[in-house]
Structure 1
């Protein structure tokens, strides 16, 4: 009881711990640049392995709660799947492109050259065409979403991404020779979905054999701190890796962050409002809106670097997307939790 109380208190001030993690990351990245340069080299197919471990810690506790016998019932509730697919693939990429053009060709036109503006817009488009695979599991857990349904939503998104990412990106970028980094895409799915899912399944099988009917619930409560620890560690590491960029180009970071934040809050409003009008239960509505909003930054960064180069404005825009992602998504988690009384809780 005491540990559960302490965990609730800790989660209540999660935004504070995240802010401290961001500050610590930038500070350590500035003081110990060689350490973070070394960590940055620990990657394969543009996926940093240490970040992958921390994200895995975030996801595993939720995967333990996945009841495989209940997954098939998701097909009987297609509204949430439809909402996620339509927003991610028919709305989000195009609003991102429109907002990018609005800000960098008009509102911020005096601050950047036309060539630089096009580069930033390209990076934003790549973020908009890359729906998230990993972090959505932690967002779903923080809003007490349906773990089984969230898994199905992410899986459907991954399947669509295989076929839709390159054509939509090519259409919006006006580039026909986009090479999808399949190694990044497939490795991310394996690391962030298949491996933690298998670990959760095996753990659940062991727990189900025990006499305690609440064994899964008790175990989930014990390992729940892993999710929060993994999230804070991920934030610290991401901001440490990008400390030099943050400190050397603060104005550019801000210019890119503004339209990205507007896009993120706007897409959430569309998805969450649609879920409300469609009368989806909260444990499906909140994760659906968050899945629709979050981005697959590893894929976006990898494609930006391969198309435009490591030091391009497009690559910088995708990196800013990484920096904006966590604090903004946490604010949306808090908003969802505060407004859940407007939704029915379950089917």
Structure 2
């Protein structure tokens, strides 16, 4: 009972805790800029651990057998790929062309738009009681497609730059944020089911989403703690980047919600799709920008979390309203994965 109360409390005050994490990150990060620079490797490792702890508990609640069913949802997967590799780059190009006049900033902004699927998209989907299995498969497929799509789009956007293929970075990211938590979660589930039995395991289930939420607060704090000096030094640039970022996030959320309802997707599938289509993998984008271009190109990727977190959490808080919006119409029959325990 206490575990479920904790889960409900964190869900109710999610936005408040996110804003608090952002504020603490900035406040503590300001006087500790030198310490952060000196111990950059340690904080990078801590961020990786936090990302792992967001996904790992969700995987404990996930029945691996359901992944096979989700993979049959080819329509949902194709829709996500269309959003990630057609809508996002084209919409991003329109915004960059109209609002960003610095070529390096434009390339950085477009790089963020092309790199799909934030590792937190699965966590958001789970918190919204969406189709976690579809979100997991979509993330894996999007990563595979991005190995070809990212260099292709970036060669069109920035042909004058010699951008290497990000294949190994993407593979490493996929192993870190998807495959490793999935294997660990599956093994943990088997162990707990064997030791506790199904009844006690079901009583323990509310704990895992709570761990994911707390880990999300930690990674938000770390992002703002580590990037505090950049945000303070480039505050005017951050403010200007706010315009295309907010327009992209809000526009994509609106379009995806409207289209998904138009084609009569279920609420569960929509939540998996909307978070996979809107959330961007900022860590990978920052790594690519630093490797292929210059620190200036990394600024858009470093500042996107400011707007991405707020808008996605607000959308998450609107989940009951969105569920009602999707439940008002009859749904087309689609191959929908069994949600298992997620």
Q: TM-score, normalised by structure 2?
A: 0.90
- Tell me the equivalent position of 1:316: 299
Cα distance between partner residues in 2 of 1:57 and 1:301: 21
Residue 232 in structure 1 maps to residue 228 in structure 2: no
Partner of 2:127: 142
- The more displaced of 200-209 and 16-25 is 200-209
Aligned to 2:281: 296
TM-aligned CA deviation for residue 211 of structure 1 = 6.7
Structure 2 match to 1:21 = 21
- Structure-2 change in CA distance of 1:337 and 1:118 (3 Å): farther
- Aligned partner of 1:64 among 60, 67, 89: 60
Aligned to 2:70: 74
CA distance in 1, matches of 2:86, 2:199: 42
Q: 1:257 is matched with which residue? A: 242
Aligned equivalents of 1:62, 1:275: Cα separation in 2: 24
Note closer, same or farther for the CA distance 1:145–1:215 as it changes in structure 2 (3 Å cut).
Answer: farther
Secondary structure in structure 2 of the residue aligned to 1:144:
coil
The answer to whether residue 336 in structure 2 is matched with residue 340 in structure 1 is no
Among residues 138, 153, 159, which one is paired with 1:168 in the alignment? 153
The structural deviation recorded for 1:278 is: 1.5
Pairing 1:33-182 to 2, within 5 Å after superposition: 33-42=33-42, 48-105=44-101, 117-175=102-160, 177-182=162-167
TM-superposed deviation, 1:215:
4.3
1:272-321 Cα offsets, whole Å, 9 max, x none, are 222111211111111201110011112211222223212x2x22122112
Give yes or no for contact 1:65–1:216 (8 Å, CA) kept in 2. Answer: no
2:193 to 208, 214, 219: 208
**Aligned residue number for residue 109 of structure 1:** none
How far off is 1:342 after superposition?
A: 2.0
User: What displacement does 1:31 show?
Assistant: 1.9
Mapped pair 1:328 → 2:311: yes
CA RMSD of aligned residues (A): 2.0
How many residue pairs match? The answer is 330
1:221-264, Cα deviation, whole Å (9 max, x unpaired) = 12332111111111111101111122222221010121111101
1:169-207 Cα shifts (integer Å, max 9, x gaps): 111223462113334222211110011000111012223
Distance 1:304 1:8 in 2: 39
Q: Using the TM superposition, give the Cα deviation of residue 216 of structure 1 relative to its aligned residue in structure 2, in angstroms.
A: 4.1
Separation (CA, whole Å) in 2 of partners of 1:133 and 1:317: 15
The residue aligned with 1:7 is 7
Shift in Å at residue 213 of structure 1? Answer: 2.8
Judged with a 3 Å threshold, the aligned counterparts in structure 2 of structure 1 residues 35 and 217 are, in CA distance, closer, same or farther, namely: farther
Answer yes or no: is the 8 Å Cα contact 1:125–1:173 preserved in 2: no
Match for residue 180 of structure 2? Answer: 195
CA shift in 2, pair 1:281/1:215, >3 Å: farther
- The answer to whether the Cα contact below 8 Å between 2:151 and 2:166 also exists between their aligned partners in 1 is no
- Name the CA distance, whole Å, in 2 between partners of 1:173 and 1:336: 38
